Amino acid sequence: MDAVFRASIMYLFLLIIFRITGKRTLGQSTTFDFVLLLIIGEATQQALLGNDFSLTNAVIVITTLVLIDVGIAFWKQRSQTMDKLLDGMPLVIVDNGEPLKERMDRVRIDEEDILSAARRTQGLERMEQIKYAVLERSGDISIIPTER
Amino acid sequence: MGSQERLASLEITQDLAFQERESLVQRVAWCGMALFLLAALLGLFGSGLFSTATLGSPDSLTLRYDRFGRFERPMALHIEIAPRYAQAGEVELHLNRDYQQKVSLQSISPEPLYVEATDEQLIYRFAHSNLQQSLPVVFYIVPEAIGSYHGHIGVGDDEQLDFSQFIYP
């Protein structure tokens, strides 16, 4: 019973904390983000297992996490509100080569981030070559180039 | 649902009102997280500036303990017994059983000569021959229950200290 509670509480806590820290927090996988994720994983593991390193405990914890995940995915599929609350919405941050500053500030993105995504994914050189840039629900930036 | 916007050539549905609310909630939550960390630094969740408390007086019995602890995390009760309580080279200390049923006693320093159990308390008898100095006793414990703890520690019949602790999950 204890293992189910531990796993459920940790799942909900992680879900909430990553949701409120914003899409971009660990959206870009820099080396440091990767190290940070490993540290968070290590701290989570200790809280999940406690002092019980038995096979039974591991099986209960994994089953709980997977089942909650399936349940939440099912819930998101059925409810648009839940889907929006848990995964957010995409946001256009460049419209016809014009960076939308207010929106960018709100989601903590600067022009450099957009130009970096444009270079990386489309080989673009300048802002005016971008028709739309969209901050996706995953935290990635999608670039749609202007038609030539 | 808020205002939704669909751009002509881009098949995307955005909800700017929702984004605005989300942004506000995030900022409030960051402040909440900062306050949470401040509370942790001050010792509200154990091992911080205000988490340690001291009771009693040096000429009788003193107890230093943690107001807040965490489940299965070792902690200690630091006790000092004034020399006037020594009788025939021994000092008697009692601690209520309710408290001890919630913790796992790891060790006691110094080791007691003997322990006697009654219905309500455990009585520890320590050797103490130096009548000029008080006797320091440390109980190293690990909390095994979550919630409030109420302890009563005493020497003799009249000197007793009551203390409370809260153990976080």
pLDDT tens per residue across span A50-99: 888 899 999 999 999 999 999 999 999 999 899 989 988 899 999 999 99
Contact B13/A at CB under 8 A: yes
Mean pLDDT of B67-93: 91
Is B47 among the domain residues? no
Inform me whether the pLDDT recorded for B1 exceeds 50: no
* E runs forming strands in B39-102: 52-56, 61-66, 68-70, 75-81, 90-96
- Quick one: B30 and B61 in the same domain? no
**What is the pLDDT, as a whole number, of residue B2?**
45
**What is the pLDDT, as a whole number, of residue A21?**
82
Q: What are phi and psi of A27, to 5 degrees?
A: -70, -40
- Quick one: B15 and B90 in the same domain? no
CB contacts of A81 in chain B (<8 Å) are 1
- Quick one: B123 and B148 in the same domain? yes
Inform me whether the pLDDT recorded for A111 exceeds 70: yes
**What is the pLDDT, as a whole number, of residue A119?**
95
Percent of chain A surpassing pLDDT 90 = 59
Contact B26/A at CB under 8 A: yes
Q: How many CB pairs under 8 A join A and B?
A: 41
**What CA–CA distance (Å, rounded) separates B4 from B20?**
12
CB contacts of B12 in chain A (<8 Å) are 90, 92, 134
- Quick one: B13 and B33 in the same domain? yes
Number of domains in chain B: 2
Residue B134 CB contacts under 8 Å (≥ 6 apart), including other chains: B58, B80, B81, B82, B83
> What's the pLDDT band for A125 if we cut at 50, 70, 90?
very high
Is B114 among the domain residues? yes
B58 token code pair: 């040096």
Residue B27 CB contacts under 8 Å (≥ 6 apart), including other chains: none
- Residue whose token pair is 């939704």: B4
> In chain A, where are the structural domains located?
2-87, 91-145
- Quick one: B31 and B98 in the same domain? no
Mean pLDDT of B158-168: 91
User: Which CATH code for domain A91-145?
Assistant: 3.30.240.20
B83 token code pair: 């020399």
- Quick one: B64 and B83 in the same domain? yes
What range defines the domain where residue B77 resides? 52-168
- Quick one: B93 and B154 in the same domain? yes
CB contacts of A51 in chain B (<8 Å) are 72
**What is the pLDDT, as a whole number, of residue B6?**
62
Predicted-complex ipTM score: 0.75
